[in-house]
Chain A
Amino acid sequence: NAGVTQTPKFRILKIGQSMTLQCTQDMNHNYMYWYRQDPGMGLKLIYYSVGAGITDKGEVPNGYNVSRSTTEDFPLRLELAAPSQTSVYFCASRVGYEQYFGPGTRLTVT
């Protein structure tokens, strides 16, 4: 099992550009989550999904979109990137009470 994988590991975007952060899990978990972690802070939930075709907003959804067409994949789309979206992005999947985190994507918007 690869667990939760995220690509890319690092990315620099210019203001106004768009990109998709990829997240894949091979554990057949229904629940998946996207978080951002700003420097020196805890994680904040952006979006989550309880299964294929079902997504919902978390605490900080503005500027992001998600889709969940399969159980395995949960991509996060940034439209019109802004400097405030500079952060580390973590994807996670969950079964029972335990979340399994991906290694993170470090995104810088300049």
Chain B
Amino acid sequence: AQKITQTQPGMFVQEKEAVTLDCTYDTSDPSYGLFWYKQPSSGEMIFLIYQGSYDQQNATEGRYSLNFQKARKSANLVISASQLGDSAMYFCAMREENTGNQFYFGTGTSLTVIP
């Protein structure tokens, strides 16, 4: 079974609008972390936001927020007030803390911001 599933290969959003990128995960480890990374066309991996499995509040970092629904095993990324520079690939990832510290990545969502 896939550990991380991203079902949206591509998304479009109008500049200044908000967009939600979906991510579901699968784990039986009670202690885990969820991450979102941005990969622009230049190729580098940029860390955006982190959510721990025991965190009560949804994580926020500037225009990024993580909609964490533990019972549904979902960790959607919300980008508010989209900018042209947000056009990139976005990857959801998970680390299981009690089973080897490995990271698992989804297949990514390509976001295009339209002027």
A45 neighbours in B (Cβ, 8 Å)? 102-104
A98 touches B50 (CB 8 A): yes
Interface residues on B, range: 20 to 34
Task: Report the stretch among A11-19, A36-44, A76-84 that lies at the interface.
Answer: A36-44
A97 touches B105 (CB 8 A): no
Q: Report the separation of the CA atoms of residues A36 and B93 in the bound assembly, to the nearest whole angstrom.
A: 14
- Contacts A48-B101, A48-B102 given: A97-B52 contact, CB under 8 Å? yes
Q: Is A74 engaged at the interface, CB distance under 8 Å to the other chain?
A: no
A43 neighbours in B (Cβ, 8 Å)? 45, 91, 93, 103, 105
- Contacts A33-B103, A41-B107, A45-B103 given: A99-B91 contact, CB under 8 Å? no
A104 touches B44 (CB 8 A): yes
Interface of A is mostly: strand
Q: Report the separation of the CA atoms of residues A97 and B6 in the bound assembly, to the nearest whole angstrom.
A: 21
- Contacts A98-B50, A99-B47 given: A41-B108 contact, CB under 8 Å? yes
B103 touches A97 (CB 8 A): no
B62 neighbours in A (Cβ, 8 Å)? none
Number of interface residues of A (CB under 8 A): 24
Residue in chain B with minimal CB distance to A104: B43
A31 neighbours in B (Cβ, 8 Å)? 101
A56 touches B44 (CB 8 A): no
A101 touches B103 (CB 8 A): no
Q: Is B85 engaged at the interface, CB distance under 8 Å to the other chain?
A: no
Contact for B45 among A40, A59, A90, CB less than 8 A? A90
Q: Report the separation of the CA atoms of residues A92 and B102 in the bound assembly, to the nearest whole angstrom.
A: 12
A99 neighbours in B (Cβ, 8 Å)? 35, 45, 47, 103
Q: Which 6 A-B pairs have the closest CB atoms?
A: A42-B105, A101-B45, A43-B105, A42-B107, A97-B50, A42-B106
B residues apposed to A, CB below 8 Å: 4, 6, 33, 35, 43-45, 47, 50, 52, 91, 93, 95, 100-108
